[in-house]
């Protein structure tokens, strides 16, 4: 159970309020879509949950532990339970696909051993299995930048799965992909959500994807939570509230 | 659209043209550009002579056989007429007609039976025995020559001599002494550049991370940690230094026994392997108990001491084995000497490394302790602790700086070098501590970044040609001074280049790995290093290229290599010899250029 309480983030130079007193709960195993315009605070919200960005005030409770107060060691343990998938995949291009996937275990590996690039055999087996699972088992030895966009995002998902995550944060995972690939990636996330019971927080731009995959939607506008409910509840009126009165629906 | 020309604009252009003319005229005057000098016939003749000498690099010689043929000459004609001279016509001989003449008088000299197509000088030998060159002779295909020339202005009562010398090449051509010297020096030059680049890069790579803003700027520490680190840093340095010194002494007692050293060098890594395997489990799902952690820390500390012992034994062994094999290896004795030198170098650096390690360990402990104090104490306690520690750390820091100043300037006045700095530091520390709020952190990473950058920029602005003068005073004139100077310059300039590469990497992978729970070290190993390998290789090759070029002239300032030879030959007006060295430099630089660009292309 993830509980976000009065979360506020003010970027220090300029004083932009990216998140303004955001409060909501995410029950375990939910597929939650986060929607809103670009710059509405979706990315900031997701990055506050694993403290890639330090929130200004508020609390984030993960199974009762306040993440915002965790020190470096505690944060390492919290982060390794939260996988993250990025819009631009964020793979290390020059490393092999396998090394990229194994990097998901770094939170568990003793830092001293990772200096000499030593992973336990079990982890290597596991990485190969995860690659099989996302359908690119034959690409393990290739360089990450030799893969197409859709394949790179699958490597990103495999990397997140290596963490044995309780939660996956997906920051616009399909925004750089074509519609066919977008569905394929979303189906992988759905499978992880349904089969493994992993909570998924996924920020999305297209409402048809939200309707198709999400259990629940929260919407941000200018850092404020403007909607929290079922995807089917987003009618034209709600839509205008979320995206502004000049917006028109596409797809 | 009609184009308007305003008179003011035209005036401005005219003024600008006049100003440019004046600037160039002054430039001509200052740099003494003079066409008169270039058309001066004497200077032209000299210039052409040098060019011709340069076009004939002194590389190849032959064994030579000299034929010396003499004929008498009397200057001026004696009263009784010249003595007759009847040469042996079966051998090479010369005739001088007339056999006597006034000073500067004209004579005809004819040579017969010489070796065909040879050449050499025609000399005049006065009674003093010195040799004055009159002409050059060149025999034709029948071994004959004919020269009409003027005698020197050297009257004498005695009979003087005209000597014709011809030389013939014997056997196959071989390399001249100069060519061999040039070869030796150019090899020295290339290796000088290689060593300087290697030493420089070894230091520049780790230092470049300290000068990379994206790596350093996220490093912030609470004041408590920073102050404790400053307080403990000298202790850590001293501790590491002392411990390694003691272990070094201890390892000396083992001394010259190769078997004991060998057993140590083989056995210790095995012990270390098991100790480290136990103390550093590869994967940890849960937080271990305090007792287990303490035990592991103890084992690690013990392992660290063992590492120092191991290094000392290794140094011993390298020295012993190296010296033992020098004689038996014969021509490859330098390999043994190299091994012994490596041992020496290792022994020298262990102390330094362990001092730094000691500082690092104590620093980490201080940092953690500070973090704990900052987090776990109540606000007023924390404030008092911070104020005290701030003042103390400030005092220590400034006292250390004072000690440095005292050492450098030999002031020997404790008030200015100890009391006053400590006081100022204490006050500054106190003020900093009182100005900071409870949760504020100091941007310690940025401070380190700024300091490193400044040092690099200062070092980089001093050319290695200047640095080598200082090093030549320290280690003597020769290639070693050149290596040190080039290495220092390589550190400064490449650390900057590397750090710019670190700064320009993609941030995405770092973010992704941080999100998996990887710590800073792991992020660097898995997200930063793979990205910077190609540019680092490329810059290293480029630097080697630069160092080869620099090392060709570093000898001018006492840094060894081919520059020294070149400078000598230029100063002695041995242009043919100098030409050989210039040729060697050109060949090496051109091939380095080709090689480095080829390797850079492969790396990226």
DSSP string, B290-334: HHHHHHHHHHHHHHHHHHHHHHHHHHHHHHHHHHHHHHHHGGGHH
Number of Cβ within a 10 Å radius of residue B56:
11
Interval A13-26 mean pLDDT: 89
Number of Cβ within a 10 Å radius of residue B415:
9
Dmax (CA) of chain A:
57
Instruction: Test A95 with B375 for CB contact under 8 angstroms.
Output: no
Query: What is the predicted pLDDT for the residue at A131?
Result: 93
Query: What is the predicted pLDDT for the residue at A190?
Result: 94
Distance (Å, rounded) from C-alpha B269 to C-alpha A236? Answer: 72
Residue of B nearest to A120 (CA): B282
Per-residue pLDDT tens digits for B166-190: 887 777 888 888 999 999 999 999 9
Query: What is the predicted pLDDT for the residue at A251?
Result: 53
Q: Which of B534, B494, B452 is nearest to B198 (CA)?
A: B494
Q: Sketch out chain B's domains with CATH numbers.
A: 60-175 (2.60.40), 184-219+447-604 (1.10.3720.10)
Touching check for A79 and chain B: CB below 8 Å? Answer: yes
Dmax (CA) of chain B:
128
Distance (Å, rounded) from C-alpha B347 to C-alpha B50? Answer: 52
Bridge partners (DSSP) listed for residue B70: B163
Distance (Å, rounded) from C-alpha A50 to C-alpha B341? Answer: 52
Residue with tokens 């004959």: B144
Smallest Cβ–Cβ distance between B522 and the set A86, A94, A114 belongs to A114
Bridge partners (DSSP) listed for residue B67: B166
Which chain A residues contact residue B443 at CB under 8 A? none
Distance (Å, rounded) from C-alpha B8 to C-alpha B604? Answer: 55
Distance (Å, rounded) from C-alpha A156 to C-alpha A84? Answer: 8
Q: What is the DSSP letter of B517?
A: T
Ranges of chain B with pLDDT below 50: none
One DSSP character per residue, B26-52 reads: HHHHHTT--HHHHH-HHHHHHHHHHHH
Helix/strand/coil for A4: strand
Query: What is the predicted pLDDT for the residue at A24?
Result: 93
Touching check for B376 and chain A: CB below 8 Å? Answer: no
Query: What is the predicted pLDDT for the residue at B229?
Result: 87
Per-residue pLDDT tens digits for B336-383: 888 888 888 888 888 888 888 888 888 888 888 888 887 788 888 888
- In A71-223, DSSP assigns E strands to 82-85, 167-171, 199-203, 216-221
Instruction: Test A103 with B526 for CB contact under 8 angstroms.
Output: yes
Query: What is the predicted pLDDT for the residue at A13?
Result: 79
CA distances from B591 to B175, B184, B549, B560, B598 (A): 22, 18, 11, 21, 10
Touching check for B280 and chain A: CB below 8 Å? Answer: yes
The C-alpha of B372 sits at a distance from chain A's nearest C-alpha, in angstroms, of 10
Bridge partners (DSSP) listed for residue B108: B97, B148
H helices present in chain A, as ranges: 42-49, 72-79, 97-102, 111-114, 121-133, 149-161, 179-196, 207-213, 236-243
In this structure, the strands spanning A82-85 and A167-171 are parallel
Which chain A residues contact residue B518 at CB under 8 A? 103, 106-107, 114
Name the pLDDT band for A237 (thresholds 50, 70, 90).
Answer: confident
Distance (Å, rounded) from C-alpha B374 to C-alpha B225? Answer: 8
Which chain A residues contact residue B509 at CB under 8 A? 90-92
Query: What is the predicted pLDDT for the residue at A250?
Result: 65
Distance (Å, rounded) from C-alpha A194 to C-alpha A201? Answer: 13
Number of Cβ within a 10 Å radius of residue B502:
22
Touching check for B220 and chain A: CB below 8 Å? Answer: no
Query: What is the predicted pLDDT for the residue at A23?
Result: 94
| Residue in A55, A76, A103, A124 to test binding to B, most B beta-carbons within 10 Å | A103
One DSSP character per residue, B43-88 reads: HHHHHHHHHHHHHS-S-EEEEEEEEEEEEEEBSS--TT-PPP----
Distance (Å, rounded) from C-alpha A136 to C-alpha A159? Answer: 13
Instruction: Test B526 with A95 for CB contact under 8 angstroms.
Output: yes
Which chain A residues contact residue B530 at CB under 8 A? 92-95
Query: What is the predicted pLDDT for the residue at B4?
Result: 64
Distance (Å, rounded) from C-alpha A100 to C-alpha A158? Answer: 9
Query: What is the predicted pLDDT for the residue at B171?
Result: 77
ipTM value greater than 0.95: no
Q: Is the pLDDT of residue A145 over 80?
A: yes
Touching check for A115 and chain B: CB below 8 Å? Answer: yes
Instruction: Test A91 with B512 for CB contact under 8 angstroms.
Output: yes
């Amino acid at each position: 159970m993830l509980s976000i309480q009065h979360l506020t983030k003010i970027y220090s130079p300029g004083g932009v309020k990216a998140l303004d007193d955001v409060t909501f709960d995410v029950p375990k195993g939910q597929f939650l879509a986060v929607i809103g315009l670009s710059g509405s605070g979706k990315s900031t919200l997701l990055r506050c949950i694993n403290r890639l960005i330090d929130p200004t005030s508020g609390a984030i409770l993960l199974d009762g532990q306040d993440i915002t107060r965790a020190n470096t060691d505690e944060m390492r343990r919290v982060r390794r339970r939260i996988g993250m998938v990025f819009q631009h995949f964020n793979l290390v291009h020059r490393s092999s696909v396998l090394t990229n996937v194994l990097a998901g275990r770094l939170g568990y590996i003793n830092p001293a051993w990772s200096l000499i690039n030593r992973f336990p055999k079990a982890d290597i087996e596991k990485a190969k299995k995860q690659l099989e699972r996302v359908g690119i088992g034959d690409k393990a030895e290739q360089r990450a930048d030799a893969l197409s966009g859709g394949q790179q995002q699958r490597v990103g998902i495999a990397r997140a799965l290596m963490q044995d995550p309780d939660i996956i944060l997906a920051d616009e995972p399909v925004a750089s992909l074509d519609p066919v690939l977008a569905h394929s990636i979303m189906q992988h996330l759905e499978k992880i959500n349904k089969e493994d019971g992993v909570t998924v927080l996924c920020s999305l731009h297209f409402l048809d994807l939200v309707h198709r995959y999400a259990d629940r939607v929260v919407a941000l506008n200018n850092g404020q939570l403007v909607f929290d409910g079922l995807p089917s509840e987003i009618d034209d009126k709600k839509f205008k509230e979320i995206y502004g009165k000049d917006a028109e629906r596409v797809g | 659209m009609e184009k308007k020309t305003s008179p003011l604009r035209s005036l401005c252009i005219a003024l600008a043209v006049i100003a440019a003319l004046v600037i160039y005229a002054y430039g001509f005057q200052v740099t003494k550009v003079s066409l008169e000098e270039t058309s001066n016939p004497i200077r032209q003749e000299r210039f052409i002579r040098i060019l011709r000498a340069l076009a004939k690099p002194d590389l190849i010689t032959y064994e030579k056989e000299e034929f010396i043929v003499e004929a008498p000459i009397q200057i001026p004609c004696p009263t009784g007429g010249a003595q007759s001279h009847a040469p042996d016509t079966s051998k090479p001989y010369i005739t001088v007609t007339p056999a006597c003449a006034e000073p500067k008088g004209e004579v005809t000299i004819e040579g017969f039976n010489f070796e065909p197509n040879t050449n050499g000088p025609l000399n005049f030998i006065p009674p003093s025995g010195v040799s004055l060159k009159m002409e050059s002779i060149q025999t034709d295909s029948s071994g004959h020559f004919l020269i009409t020339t003027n005698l020197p202005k050297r009257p004498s009562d005695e009979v003087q001599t005209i000597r014709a010398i011809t030389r013939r090449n014997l056997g196959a051509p071989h390399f001249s002494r100069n060519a061999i010297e040039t070869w030796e020096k150019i090899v020295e030059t290339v290796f000088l550049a290689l060593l300087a680049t290697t030493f420089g890069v070894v230091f520049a790579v780790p230092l470049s991370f300290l000068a990379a803003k994206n790596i350093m700027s996220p490093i912030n520490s609470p004041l408590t940690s920073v102050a404790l680190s400053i307080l403990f840093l000298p202790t850590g340095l001293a501790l590491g230094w002392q411990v390694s010194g003691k272990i070094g002494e201890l390892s000396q007692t083992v001394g010259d026994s190769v078997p004991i050293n060998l057993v140590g060098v083989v056995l210790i890594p095995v012990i270390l392997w098991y100790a480290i395997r136990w103390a550093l489990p590869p994967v940890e799902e849960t937080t271990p108990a305090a007792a287990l952690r303490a035990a592991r820390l103890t084992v690690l500390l013990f392992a660290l001491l063992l590492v120092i012992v191991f290094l000392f034994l290794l140094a011993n062994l390298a020295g012993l084995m190296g010296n033992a094999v020098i004689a038996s290896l014969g021509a490859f004795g330098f390999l043994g000497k190299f091994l012994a030198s490596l041992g020496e170098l290792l022994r020298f650096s262990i102390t330094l490394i362990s001092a730094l390690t000691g500082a690092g360990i104590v620093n980490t402990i201080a940092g953690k302790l500070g973090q704990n104090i900052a987090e776990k104490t109540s606000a007023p306690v924390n404030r008092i602790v911070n104020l005290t520690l701030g003042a103390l750390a400030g005092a220590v820091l400034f006292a250390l700086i004072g000690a440095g100043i005292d050492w450098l300037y030999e002031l020997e006045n404790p008030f200015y070098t100890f009391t006053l700095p400590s006081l100022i530091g204490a006050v500054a520390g106190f003020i900093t501590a009182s100005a900071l709020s409870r949760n504020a952190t100091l941007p310690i990473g940025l401070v380190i970044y700024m300091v490193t950058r400044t040092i690099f920029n200062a070092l980089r602005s001093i050319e290695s040609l200047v640095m080598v003068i200082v090093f030549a005073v320290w280690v003597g004139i020769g290639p070693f001074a050149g290596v040190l100077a080039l290495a220092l310059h390589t550190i400064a300039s490449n650390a900057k280049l590397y750090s710019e590469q670190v700064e320009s990497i993609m941030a995405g992978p770092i973010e992704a790995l941080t999100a998996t729970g990887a710590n800073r070290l792991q992020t660097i190993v898995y997200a930063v290093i793979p990205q910077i390998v190609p540019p680092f290789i490329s810059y290293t090759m480029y630097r080697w290229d630069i160092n080869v070029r620099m090392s060709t002239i570093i000898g001018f300032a006492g840094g060894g290599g081919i520059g020294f030879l070149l400078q000598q030959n230029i100063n002695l007006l041995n242009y043919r010899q100098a030409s050989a060295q210039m040729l060697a430099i050109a060949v090496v630089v051109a091939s380095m250029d080709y090689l480095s660009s080829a390797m850079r292309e492969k790396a990226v």
